[in-house]
Structure formats: structure tokens, C-alpha cells
Amino acid sequence: MEFYGTALASRLFLGTAQYPSPKVLCEAIEASGTEVITVSLRRETSDGAGTGFWQMLRQTGRRILPNTAGCHTVQEAVTTAQMARELFETDWIKLEVIGHADSLQPDVFALVEAARILSDDGFKVFPYTTEDLVVGEHLLQAGCEVLMPWGAPIGSGQGLRNSDGLRAMRAHFPNTPLVVDAGIGRPSDAAAAMELGLDAVLLNTAVAKAGDPIAMARAMAQAVIAGQTGYQAEPMPRRDMAVPSTPVLGLAELI
């Protein structure tokens, strides 16, 4: 599976916000083995860009996926995306258009509109969306080639709230890269997402706010590999009865 023509060995995307220090962040990036880091381009940082923090991120050598976190309107998101393209010299953009300040749910109507404007402008859009199939269709029609459904609300650490919905999404979009974005709290959540056959996991708070972010970054990387390998290995079906794993034949008859 390629993401806009780019093959990625690591299926873990890592966010760069809220770490105790840039040093811890850089070590977590290293431990995660990630190839893609997301960067929140808050509008207020734009007039002071080019600071040490951006340089540190560039020096990690990872591909940067700027995001439009905190944008609530189409115009805001588009402007932020354009600034990000200039600042980070990339046409990749993680598109977030927030519809509700408290739950941070995406405003899917504005999202589709912004995705169309940005795709037409040559951006490679990674839209943060819900597991709604119809919205997914509209995003593809708008020019997106990747979908990023949420697992749970941003920063909530609840894991996959609707794994049936995500499974349906996989079935409905068999050839579109799907990245679970938001809601991952534990390594088991990341593994569960990959076991559903999704292509990657994007997370931030789960690592940044862990007691030991570096160890958690490593654990997430291992979980993503475990889940992905498990999916490819085709798990056995669930049964509602026990089935002995040792053969019954040849047991001694003690009479």
C-alpha cells in the first residue's frame, strides 16, 4: 500500500506536540522508527517560524506531514495548509476542520469542501474524518487518495470506539490507504487497528503524555508491527466452544 505514491516501511505516524521537551520528542521519534511526523502549524506560530523547534524537526530526517489542527473553517484550513506548504516545502497536508470545540469532531461538510480546494491546488490531502462511508466517498471524489478515520475523539485515549465501523470501511475501500487517526491510548489499541486491516496508525498524546514517552514510542511501534503481521497471518476464527489443541487419539485408557 502506498501513500500518494510513497511506500512506507513503518506504519506508525507520530505527532510532535505536548512532549516534555524537544529532546524527549527526538528520542521518541527515534524509538518509534516512524518515517512520518505530523506538525501542528498553529496560526500563531507562522509569524515566528524558522525557530529552533522547526529546525530540530527537520533534522530528524523524517517526512513531515503538517496539519491544520485547530482550524474551524474552510478558509482557515486552506490558509494554514498554504502556509505549511511554504514553510515545510511539502505538498502533504493532514487536513483537520474541527466542527465542535469540545469534542473536536471533524466538520465533515467543511472537510470535503476544503479537501476539494486543496486537492485542486495540488495538495496531497490526508483528511481527518469519521468512519462514515458516504463522507469517505465524497472525500475520494474531492481528490483524496488516503482516508484517516478517527478511533475516538482526539486526545481521549479511548481506543477504537467503533471497530465494526472501521472494519466496514476497510471492506468498502479495499484499495484506499486507511490510517486510524486520533483516540489511540495504548499499544493494544494500535494493534487492534492494524488487526482490522487498516494500513497505519497516527498518534500523539498516547506517547507524549505517557510516563516514559520513549518507552511508549517503542511499545507502539512493536504493537503496530504485531497487529499488521497478525492481520496478514489471518487469525483463526472465534468459536463459542472449546476445541482441544492436543489430539484425543492415542490417549491411554485407564481401566
Partner 1 sequence: MITIAGAGLAGLATAYELLQRGAEVTLFESGSAPGAASVARYAGGMLAPFCEGESAEEEVVTLGSRAFEWWAKITAVHRRGTLVVAPPRDRAELSRFARRTRGHQLVERAEIAELEPALSGRFATGLFFRDEAHLDPRRAIVDLAQMVETLGGQILYETPAPRQVDLNCTGMAAPLSALRPVRGEMAILHCQEVNIRRTLRLLHPRIPLYLVPRDDHHFMIGATMVESSSTRAPTLRAVNELLSAAFALHPAFGEASVVELGAGLRPAFADNLPRLVEQDGVLHLNGLYRHGFLLAPEMAHRAAAKLRPQSADIFAKERIG
- The residues annotated with a catalytic role in the active site are 94
Q: Considering the complex, what minimum distance in angstroms separates the CB of residue 46 from partner 1?
A: 8
Q: Are 138 and 112 in contact (CB under 8 A)?
A: yes
Pairing of strands 179-181, 200-203: parallel
Q: Is there a contact between 217 and 190 (Cβ–Cβ < 8 Å)? A: no
Task: Say how far apart CA 88 and CA 86 lie, in whole Å.
Answer: 6
Determine which residue in the list 1, 2, 20, 215 makes contact with partner 1, applying CB under 8 A: 20
Q: Is 153 in the site for partner 1 (CB under 8 A)?
A: no
Binding to partner 1 in span 54-83, by CB under 8 A: 54, 56
By CB under 8 A, the count of residues binding partner 1 is 21
**In 3D, which of 45, 40, 101, 87 has the Cα closest to residue 68?**
40
Question: CA-CA distances (angstroms) from residue 177 to 50, 66, 78?
Answer: 32, 18, 23
Helix (H, G, I), strand (E, B) or coil at 131: coil
Strand partners, 6: 3
Tell me which stretch binds partner 1 (CB under 8 A): 2-10, 20-28, 167-175, 237-245. Answer: 20-28
Of 99, 143, 155, 165, the one binding partner 1 by CB under 8 A: 155
Cα–Cα distance, 66 to 80 (Å, whole number)? 9
Q: How far is the CB of 159 from partner 1 (least distance, A)?
A: 15
Show the site string, 96-135: x = touches partner 1 by CB under 8 A, - = not: ----------------------------------------
**Would you say 42 or 167 has its CB closer to partner 1?**
42
Residues at the contact surface with partner 1, assessed by CB under 8 A: 20-24, 26, 42, 44-45, 47-54, 56, 155, 209, 211
